[in-house]
A and B are shown apart, each in its own frame.
Chain A
Amino acid sequence: MAPKLPPKAPLEHGNSITGGASAHEGEHHYRSGPLRWLLTTNHKEIGTLYLIFSLSMFMVGGIMALVVRLELFQPGLQMVQPEFFNQMTTMHGLIMIFGAVMPGFVGLANWMVPLQVGAPDMALPRLNNFSFWLLPIAFVLLLSTLLMPGGGPNFGWTSYAPLSTTYAPPSTTFFIFSLHMAGISSILGAINIIATILNLRAPGMRLMDMTLFVWTWLITAFLLIAVMPVLAGVLTMMLLDINFGTSFFNAAGGGDPVLFQHLFWFFGHPEVYIMILPAFGIVSVIVPTFARKPLFGYSSMVYATASIAVLSFTVWAHHMFSVGLPLVAELFFMYATMLIAVPTGVKVFNWIATLFRGSITFETAMLFALAFIVLFSIGGFSGLMLAIAPADFQYHDTYFVVAHFHYVLVPGAVFSIMAAVYYWLPKWTGHYPDERLGRWHFWLSVIGVNLLFFPMHFAGLAGMPRRIPDYALQFADFNMASSIGGFLFGFSQLLFIWVIVKCVRGGVKAPARSWDGATDLEWTVPSPAPLHTFETPPDMRRIES
């Protein structure tokens, strides 16, 4: 990766606000009007599209979660039929994972990776447009299954066979195709991100000069390319079992329903790291900015991320401890899972060490990042508890698991996306987000999320199974608290939308370097970032010397 043709350009300051300023091709008349968004190849516009899509799916998935929480507010069946309840839990999971969290991170990557590596755009801009527009198409199809005869998918986001084959509603075939499309979108998006990072870095920027956000995305993209095809494969086998009479997951024909679980979790566990590694990157960028200190242990962060990614291929069966695995498998997957806690611990340690003796301020972005560190760790610890195979026989398929993965996903992945939005809004819009509203949003979210998910630990330990519309009376108090927290958290997100809309429309003007502790490359271009930046790449070798 040694730089070969170094142009002696000064640090670029985004010279083409009007768009026509580039000399080398003169092709920059971008469309206006609605078609512009359909046909755009610009990484910033596509990033915006991804983020808007993610936010809308967050709302749709959120409403489904509130339907679930409404039904669980009290024991007994009040609001919805069990069949519909199952569709809501399934759709909620699918939409949040594939529609909200993953596209949210991809949107951030689209916006920020080129800006942080000094590239003019993504490496393959037309492919980028394709990756994005597949998503709305896929999700319209997915949502439409709710209206089909027999209803939408009702077997949980994990789609275990034979629930998802022999006993599945007819719409399952469409569910499979919609996930195929979302998967193609992810794979192509990941290819684009890898090509951008490996090939479009500014001259002189070595791999170990990249920000942690770029690093974590490089590794995430690798994970995506490695496991999304496996998901596509297992979904295809489902399709064949349903429609062509094959026996992959049917023991009567010599197949095995457990095989489904192996294949699914070989995808599924790396998938959860796909949803958390970019979050690690975001926090590793935000914490140093507001602690006004360089990140502690940069290279150990990189190695920790890489080892998490490698290990994530060796732990999948910790989701299957109670399915009847051979003893050696139980032991292997138990120890391998615990091993992952080591690099994860390195990360948490480094963030805290970065804070140590920093001159810390508590802007909203920082608040979310700090909450991430604390609350994600809670999720990590409950993960460790679940990793103990003999103990998992008690926890498995209870609300304890629900508490675990919601702690890592909501105050984990989702909070990191919110932190990133507060952090980069000045760069995107040219205005600072409203701090007062931001703090309200933050505190309501933190209180809501803990009230929502903490009691689930207790309900789960006491034995409440997951994915049920009705429950025994002794779980009533925990569930009522969770439901109240759920509605609090859900409605606080309206504040988030308000902050964003307000910030897009106006507010305190932000300079190029919007946060005084921010040092990365994106802060050298004006705020808001012009449509085209780094058309001539910045020369990073100058900074080195």
Chain B
Amino acid sequence: MSGGSYYVPASSKWPIFAGLALAAMLVGLGILLVYGWGSWIMGLGGVAILVVMGLWFRDVIKESRGGLYDAQMDRSFRWGMGWFIFSEVMFFAAFFGTLFYVRTFALPWLDGEGAKGVSALLWPDFAASWPLMNPPGSEIEGPRGIANPWQLPLVNTLFLVTSSITLTIAHEGLKAGHRDSARNCLIVTLILGVCFLLVQGFEYYEAYAHLGITLQAGIYGSTFFLLTGFHGAHVTVGAIILASMLWRLQCGHFERDNHFGFEAAAWYWHFVDVVWIGLFLFVYVF
């Protein structure tokens, strides 16, 4: 534990700016959704968040490279990142829970299964199925088709799994002091991540343009976009983090035995990868 060298930073202006930036983004989005204007507030807030985070992390990096941090500080960061990822796991757990609940309970009950089956009286003609092509209410139009998991989704699975492997190789390279191999593998990881996002974007286009899978297409479209959408957002964030790690690597930031920034980015990326495996299995295959 501590030998009395734990670094306590002096006051900082970034946290409160970060709070205001976040508020601007959310309030802007709210105004946009409710009143139809305000996108510039949202955009400003979003950009401000990125800028403030950059400045905040710049301070942290400076302190770290200035030798102000000790092993105990390193552990604080590790606990911090670890529990943050746990909170993300629970965030996705809520969405997976939704998917399972709808498939195992809600739809069969609407179809009359179960002891009471009262809700079956609402739409007597409804037949449960998954993917739900014909939602109970006639006002909601279901999807016309679904994506084949063994085409683009499989390709995307390969992209992400490979990217996790290349990232691990990059990390090993960093630990062994092979900066060039670390950089190259990191670049490959990033490219794979971007490919994933492009394929995902194409899939969304297909869903909307040809398959009729939309946010409004009943519970199948809802869960599909909820899970893949938030996952895609996390891949995007992860790619931004990896890109800044690449930049830091180029600046010569990481030491063989001291590169938690890189490690944290890798943890995050692996987490996003694991979530995708869950998605591939339960959203696409089964």
Contact = CB atoms under 8 A, between A and B. Distances in A.
A133 B2 contact: no
Interface residues of A, number: 91
Contacts of A262: 97, 101
Interface in B1-58: 1-16, 18-20, 22-23, 26-27, 29-30, 33-34, 56
A258 B118 CA distance: 14
Contacts of B118: 324
A7 B10 contact: no
Interface string B185-229: 000000000000000000000000000000110111111011000
B79 A30 contact: no
Contacts of B4: 7, 9, 24, 535-537
Contacts of A535: 4
Interface string A176-193: 010011001001001110
B11 A181 contact: no
Interface string A384-424: 00000000000000000000000000000000000000000
Interface in B130-179: 132, 135-137, 139-140
B247 interface: no
Contacts of A123: 76, 79-80
Interface stretch (A38-46, A52-60, A288-296): A38-46
A254 interface: yes
Interface in A239-261: 240, 243-248, 250-256, 258-259
A136 B209 CA distance: 44
Given A130-B19, A252-B140, A254-B135, A229 B88 contact: yes
A460 B6 CA distance: 55
Contacts of A203: 1-2
Contact of A195 (B34, B80, B93, B226): B80
B90 interface: yes
Nearest to A187: B87
A519 interface: no
B94 A263 contact: yes
A510 interface: no
Contacts of B2: 5, 119-120, 200, 202-203, 537
A174 B86 CA distance: 27
Given A130-B18, A240-B222, A536-B4, A254 B216 contact: no
B282 interface: no
Contact of A129 (B6, B16, B140): B16
Given A181-B26, A252-B136, A126 B56 contact: yes
B222 A29 contact: no
Contacts of A124: 76, 80
B219 A141 contact: no
Given A9-B4, A125-B8, A248-B222, A230 B90 contact: yes
A173 B33 CA distance: 8
Contacts of B97: 262-263, 266
A245 B1 contact: no
Contact of A256 (B80, B102, B220): B102
Nearest to B83: A191
B106 interface: yes
Given A253-B140, A256-B101, A259-B98, A247 B12 contact: no
A243 B35 CA distance: 11
Nearest to B79: A195
B72 interface: yes
B12 A229 contact: no
A29 B135 contact: no
A129 to B, nearest CB: 4
A130 B116 CA distance: 50
Contacts, number: 239
B91 A232 contact: yes
Contacts of A348: none
A345 interface: no
A8 to B, nearest CB: 11
A484 to B, nearest CB: 41
Interface in B93-128: 93-95, 97-98, 101-102, 105-107, 109-110, 114-116, 118-119, 122
A491 B4 CA distance: 47
Given A30-B11, A36-B11, A537-B2, A252 B94 contact: no
Contacts of B110: 251, 254
A6 B1 CA distance: 7
Interface stretch (A220-228, A276-284, A349-357, A361-369): A220-228
B237 interface: no
Nearest to B129: A254
Nearest to B73: A123
Contact of A4 (B1, B27, B94, B135): B1
Interface string A7-32: 10100000000000000110111110
Given A240-B222, A252-B137, 9 more contacts: A5-B2, A120-B6, A141-B26, A200-B6, A229-B94, A247-B135, A253-B140, A253-B222, A326-B115
Which 4 pairs of residues, A with B, have the shortest CB-CB distance?
A: A252-B137, A233-B94, A254-B219, A130-B15
7 contacts: A5-B3, A125-B8, A177-B26, A195-B79, A226-B87, A229-B88, A255-B222
Interface of A: 3-7, 9, 24-25, 27-31, 35-36, 38-42, 119-121, 123-127, 129-130, 133-134, 137-138, 141, 170-171, 173-174, 177, 180-181, 184, 187, 190-192, 194-195, 198-203, 225-230, 232-234, 237, 240, 243-248, 250-256, 258-259, 262-263, 266, 324, 326-327, 532, 535-537
